Each structure stands twice: as C-alpha cells, then as structure tokens.
Amino acid sequence: MIAGIDIGGTTSKIGLVLDGRVLRQTRIPTTGHADDHAFAQALATAVRSLLADEGGGSLEAVGIGAPNANQFTGIIEMAPNLPWKHDVPLARMLQDRLNVPAVLGNDANAAALGEWRYGAGKGYDDLLVVTIGTGVGSGFIVNGSLLLGSAGNAGELGHMTLAMDGRPCTCGRKGCLEAYVSIRGMRQTYAELANDLDLLKEEGVKCIADAAHAGDRAAQRTFEETVHWLAVGLANAVAVTGPRRVVLFGGIVRSGDLLLAPLKKAFHSALLNIYQGRVDLTVSALPDDDAALLGAAALTTIPMKIRK
Amino acid sequence: MIAGIDIGGTTSKIGLVLDGRVLRQTRIPTTGHADDHAFAQALATAVRSLLADEGGGSLEAVGIGAPNANQFTGIIEMAPNLPWKHDVPLARMLQDRLNVPAVLGNDANAAALGEWRYGAGKGYDDLLVVTIGTGVGSGFIVNGSLLLGSAGNAGELGHMTLAMDGRPCTCGRKGCLEAYVSIRGMRQTYAELANDLDLLKEEGVKCIADAAHAGDRAAQRTFEETVHWLAVGLANAVAVTGPRRVVLFGGIVRSGDLLLAPLKKAFHSALLNIYQGRVDLTVSALPDDDAALLGAAALTTIPMKIRK
C-alpha cells in the first residue's frame, strides 16, 4: 500500500492507494498548525489512523503532491499559497515519521503521473496533462519519463506568455496562459466582457456556464475566448514536446458543449500541419475525488534524482 | 569514422567525422539529379571518394541531417524546399549503398546533438539548441536524451504561436516565432518599420546590422523587436522543458552588441521567477562550416526508434 498525500492551500487530503484504487481517505486542514513540524506530525498521524482503520497492512512508501514542490530536493519552496514562507523539507519530515521512503512532487506532475499510470494517459509514452483550476498546471511525459527539467521544475505551461503586454498574472509577469484560462482568468474575462467589475469576485465557472446556457452573450464569449487561448497554448506545447495525447483535468473541462467540443476544433486548427491527426485531446478518466491522491501515490513510482 | 551528410535546399555537404572533428569535407548540388536514387548514388560516391582521399579507414555509420526528416522512419517527408515531393527513404537508400547503418534526422535535431556532443552544450543533460537562419529550428535534450516526441517530430519552437492574428507564416498559420525572428522575419520587420516594402527582397541581416550601427533607427528597432520576440519564445520553451542552458546558432546571433547582449537581458526578464539564475544563454562554439556535419554525424549516436 502507498500513502498518497495532496497538499492544498486550505485542506490536505490523505489516502491509502493499492493497485490504482483509493482504499480509504481522509482530510486535515493545511492551516492552523503551530508550525510545519506540527503539520507533518498531523499528516503522519492521519496516515497511521487510515492504516489502523484498514486493519493494518504494510505501507511501502509515501507520495506527496504539493504546490511549489521540488522533486529533486523533496522541499516545498516558498509556496505563496501555503502557510509557511520558508523551505519545508516535507519528504524528509514524513520519511522520518513513517519510516518508509517519501517522494515529494509538484501537484501538476503528480496529476500527470496519475493519468499516465491509472487514467486516460495509460500506455502513452508521450503525454501532456493539463489541470485547470484556480491556476493552470501541467505535467509532460516524454520518452516514457516525467519531464522534470534541469532543476526539477519543468512543465509550467500556465506561465507560457501568450499575450504580449497582456493581463497581469499572479507570477508578476504579463499575458500568461493562466491569466486567461484559469477560473480566475475566466472570471476576469466575464467581468470585462459584461462590463461589470463586481462579477470579478462573485462568479464561479458554473455560474458563467449557466449564464451562457441561458443565452447571456458575455458568458458565451467568455467561453469562446477561453477556448481560443487554451487551444493556442496547447498547440504551442505540442510543438515543443510532440505528445500523442493531451489529457485535461478540472471542473472547467466538464463544461462539455461550452468548452470541450469547441476546444477540440480550435486545437486541431491551431496545430502545425505535421501534428495534424497525430495528437488527440481528451478529458481525465479519474474520479475527481481520487485523482490527486492517485497522482500523489504515483510520484513514488519515479526515482528521486537529487542534483546539486 | 562516421560520414556526416547535411542536406540543404541547393547544396548538400558530406564530411568524414572522427572524435568530434571534421577530417575532410566536400559538397554536391542537391538539385539537378535525375531522381532521388541518382541523388543517393551521388552522395554515396562522394562518401567513397572522401574515404579514398583519407587513405582508406573504416566507415562505421552514416548520419544524415535534412529538413522534414522523420527520425523514426528514416524518411524525408514531403519537404517543401527539396526537389522531391514524395517520401524519400534516404536512410535505407544510403545504408544499401554503403553497407553501414544510416540514421536520418531533422536538421535542427542534428544541430542540437552536435552542440550537445561536441559544442557549447557538452555535459548538459537538459539543453535547448535554437538555430536561426531563413527559418527557426530547435532541438531539445531532456533527461539526457534527444526529445523526439511520439511521432519523431517534436521541437518546432519556430512554429510556436506568439502573436494572435499575427503575421502570416510559411506554415500557413499566423504569428509564429519564425515569422518574426528568422532572417525572413527580420527583413519584413525592417521593411515595415522603414515603410519601404522594396527592402523586403533586398536586405540581408548583415545590411540591417550595418544600417543599425550607422544610426538608422528603423534598423535599430528591427533588432529590438527581434530580441523581444526571441526572448519571449525562449522563455516559453524554458517553461516547458526547464533546460540548464540555451545555445543559439546562426549568423544572426553573431551580431553581438545588437542581438546577444540585449537578448540576454530580455531573456532573463522574460523568465518565470523559478527559472531565474537556473538557465544560461550562450552561442554555438562550433565552427560554422563544420557544425551541420558534426550534428549529422552525432545523429548516429542515438538509437533509431521505428514506431508504427
């Protein structure tokens, strides 16, 4: 059995994974702990409690997916959305507490591994997985391995610049894909198109989708623009790594008629001719509740490569 | 000894390579042959003649770099700039004639392998090589392997879309990096800025550089815009594959004060913060005359992976 842990900004999920299935899961708050050691302790306690509920069984390893995680060092590096502003060596902290090997990885890479091992990317040696939520994350499988890059931080498709002098992004630069395609980006597009900045804070993607279905033109155009930017961003990623399949994950991509259907069309017309017919686009096949845990568990299947 | 062959639109170069040095080289016209078989025959004859001049010695393999070459199949696929509009299985044709293994690869991938094995990329397991000429080619080394993609055609950074509804590109789409950064692109930028479309046909990059040095504002701005687009394109590539080093190749990048110096600055400010200080930018260390031959020879060092 492998323990999968998914660290989120407010809540962290912990699950026991066996043969690509989540046997049992729980969650604890990410915030409110005395310090990072207390948080690591709470995670370890949760793992032990799940094991006890499962009636024992042997734990092989721990896989942890987190924002701003460095796969090479096992450290969460100055994550802007987590309570700790210093480096947190969470892999080592859990390894010490649970006495099994622990691997820490970027949450988007974890999602990619989860899709590759257990989901819609199974059997694809060249794969791109894009998760769309508050931000946009991505993980690339190339030549049958996770693409980590020289410093363990490759795969930041969300921060590909698409609009010169475009919208400010949370990263401090301008015109990133994420500034247009994420939940935050769609909300901003809607507020701009509807000419009502109050919408910026209120509207979820579900509300925008409902409005689009009810005939609201600004909401419909919000989806059209989102599709446009995402199609170009995906086509650009294909031109670099040449995947056979692209898998999308996240609530937004479930808006089928508003997003996926037009996206497939826009993606294929955005592709360079040599990739036409050689790459398909699909959505995650994993249950929403389990995906992050399966991905975190899948991190343990790749070697940690600590480099200087 | 390895025979390196570089197929160009008008001329093809043939060289003998040993230990990363070109011992001897010659060239034949690419055009004017009765058919592709006659061309393959002429290449084989040139290789034999070089071997004879070298006083014998044993040939181990042949590496061929060509536009529109598919590494997986050994076939040149419908190359718009070569005389044959059908598929040419050049690897097999030379293997049959010279009785040694032959590997065919994309010319930009060959350049990347050449820099990686023998040039400015030596020792870098995560590397990006960008060649800037009439077009823009790129080859990525990731995790210590050439990135080929699922269909053998990854690494088309020149066709990353950067300008929405931008300039028409030779690929039939709009706003590609290559439409702005190549020799052709710079010439167009200069013609537009100088408001003189006659310049489109005449000006080489050397002339634009001379004009810039002489104080011509349109020529200076041409370099500034080229630097801007290239910096963003490179930063976008870094956000996908996370290389430790970027190597630039081609006549344009030798315009040091006009291009390389401002590019280094623009590149670093275009990078996402997590890559700051983790990737450097440099120019090819290989002699212009030898680079393509060394690259073609380096193709033989990677396995051909024929896939369905």
Residues B47, B143 share a domain:
no
Q: Is the pLDDT of residue B305 over 60?
A: no
**ipTM for this model:** 0.92
In terms of Cα–Cα distance, which of B9, B113, B10, B27 is closest to B289? B27
To which H or E segment does residue B118 belong?
A: helix B107-118
- Pick from A145, A149, A159: which is nearest to B241 by CB? A149
Domains in chain A, number: 2
Residues A147, A34 share a domain:
no
Q: How far is A240 from chain B (nearest CA, A)?
A: 4
Q: A220-234, A286-300, B226-240 — which is least confidently predicted? A: A286-300
Q: Residue A208 phi/psi, 5° resolution?
A: -65, -40
Q: Across the interface, do B274 and A157 touch by the CB < 8 Å criterion?
A: no
Q: What is the mean pLDDT of residues A168-180?
A: 95
B window 59-78, beta carbon within 8 A of A: 77
Q: How far is A164 from chain B (nearest CA, A)?
A: 8
Could you tell me the pLDDT band of residue B277, with boundaries at 50, 70 and 90? Answer: very high
Residues B91, B12 share a domain:
yes
Axis-axis angle for helices A217-241, A183-193 (nearest 10): 140
Helix residue spans in chain A (DSSP H): 36-53, 90-98, 107-118, 178-181, 183-193, 199-202, 205-213, 217-241, 261-270, 288-298
Q: Which residue of A has its CA nearest to B239?
A: A156
Q: Across the interface, do A150 and B244 touch by the CB < 8 Å criterion?
A: yes
In terms of Cα–Cα distance, which of A82, A142, A92, A75 is closest to A113? A142
Inside any domain, residue A307: no
Q: Across the interface, do B154 and A124 touch by the CB < 8 Å criterion?
A: no
Cα–Cα dist A199/B110, whole Å: 52
Could you tell me the pLDDT band of residue A77, with boundaries at 50, 70 and 90? Answer: confident
Q: Looking at this protein, which amino acid is placed at residue B145?
A: S
Q: Across the interface, do A242 and B173 touch by the CB < 8 Å criterion?
A: no
- Pick from B140, B152, B235: which is nearest to A161 by CB? B235
Inside any domain, residue B87: yes
Q: What is the mean pLDDT of residues B126-147?
A: 94
Q: Across the interface, do A151 and B239 touch by the CB < 8 Å criterion?
A: no
Where in the sequence is the domain holding A202, given as residue range(s)?
123-285
Inside any domain, residue B308: no
Could you tell me the pLDDT band of residue B79, with boundaries at 50, 70 and 90? Answer: confident
Q: How far is CA B82 from CA B11, B30, B69, B90, B250, in A?
A: 10, 8, 11, 13, 21
Q: A159-163, B40-44, B83-87 — which is least confidently predicted? A: B83-87
Q: What percent of chain B has pLDDT over 70?
A: 96
Could you tell me the pLDDT band of residue B37, with boundaries at 50, 70 and 90? Answer: very high
Q: What is the pLDDT of residue A67?
A: 86
Residues B145, B279 share a domain:
yes
Residues A216, A138 share a domain:
yes
Q: What is the pLDDT of residue A307?
A: 38
Q: Across the interface, do B143 and A140 touch by the CB < 8 Å criterion?
A: no
Inside any domain, residue B152: yes
Q: Is the pLDDT of residue A304 over 60?
A: no
Residues B165, B97 share a domain:
no
Q: What is the pLDDT of residue B70?
A: 86
Q: A100-114, B76-90, B179-193 — which is least confidently predicted? A: B76-90
Q: What is the mean pLDDT of residues A93-102?
A: 96
Cα–Cα dist B60/B65, whole Å: 17
Could you tell me the pLDDT band of residue B193, with boundaries at 50, 70 and 90? Answer: very high
The verdict on B280 touching A (C-beta cutoff 8 Å) is no
pLDDT tens per residue, range A131-155: 998 889 999 999 999 999 998 889 9
Inside any domain, residue A115: no
pTM of the model: 0.92
Angle at A303 between CA A297 and CA A308, to 5 degrees: 125
Q: Across the interface, do B235 and A279 touch by the CB < 8 Å criterion?
A: no
Residues A265, A184 share a domain:
yes
Q: What is the pLDDT of residue B307?
A: 38
pLDDT tens per residue, range B46-74: 999 999 999 978 999 999 999 888 888 89
Reported residue count of chain B is 308
The verdict on A147 touching B (C-beta cutoff 8 Å) is yes
Q: What is the pLDDT of residue B306?
A: 42
Q: How far is B55 from chain A (nearest CA, A)?
A: 41
Contacts of B236 in chain A (CB under 8 A): 160-161, 236
Inside any domain, residue A82: yes
Cα–Cα dist A149/B246, whole Å: 13
pLDDT tens per residue, range B97-132: 999 999 999 889 999 999 999 999 999 999 999 999
The verdict on B153 touching A (C-beta cutoff 8 Å) is yes
Residues A133, A8 share a domain:
no
Q: Which residue of A has its CA nearest to B152?
A: A242
DSSP designation for A83 = S
Whether residue A6 contacts residue A44, with contact meaning beta carbons closer than 8 Å, is answered with no
Higher pLDDT pick, B80 / A169: A169
Whether residue A58 contacts residue A98, with contact meaning beta carbons closer than 8 Å, is answered with no
Q: A88-97, A255-264, B31-40, B156-165 — which is least confidently predicted? A: A255-264
> What is the distance between the terminal CA atoms of chain B, rounded to a whole angstrom?
31
Q: Across the interface, do B142 and A149 touch by the CB < 8 Å criterion?
A: yes
Q: Residue B35 phi/psi, 5° resolution?
A: -160, -175
Q: Across the interface, do A150 and B270 touch by the CB < 8 Å criterion?
A: no
Mean of the per-residue pLDDT values of chain B? 92
Could you tell me the pLDDT band of residue B146, with boundaries at 50, 70 and 90? Answer: very high
Contacts of A140 in chain B (CB under 8 A): 240-241
Cα–Cα dist B96/B204, whole Å: 41
Q: What is the pLDDT of residue A203?
A: 65
Residues B150, B95 share a domain:
no
Mean of the per-residue pLDDT values of chain A? 92
Q: How far is A247 from chain B (nearest CA, A)?
A: 15
Residues B130, B105 share a domain:
no
Residues B266, B167 share a domain:
yes
Q: Is the pLDDT of residue B290 over 80?
A: yes
Contacts of A150 in chain B (CB under 8 A): 124-126, 242-244, 278-279
Cα–Cα dist B271/B242, whole Å: 11
Residues B137, B89 share a domain:
no
Axis-axis angle for helices A261-270, A217-241 (nearest 10): 40
Contacts of B154 in chain A (CB under 8 A): 126, 142, 240-242
Whether residue B150 contacts residue A125, with contact meaning beta carbons closer than 8 Å, is answered with yes
Could you tell me the pLDDT band of residue A269, with boundaries at 50, 70 and 90? Answer: very high
Inside any domain, residue A179: yes
CATH number at residue A29: 3.30.420.40
Q: What percent of chain B has pLDDT over 90?
A: 75
Inside any domain, residue B115: no
Contacts of A240 in chain B (CB under 8 A): 140, 147, 154-157, 160, 237, 240-241
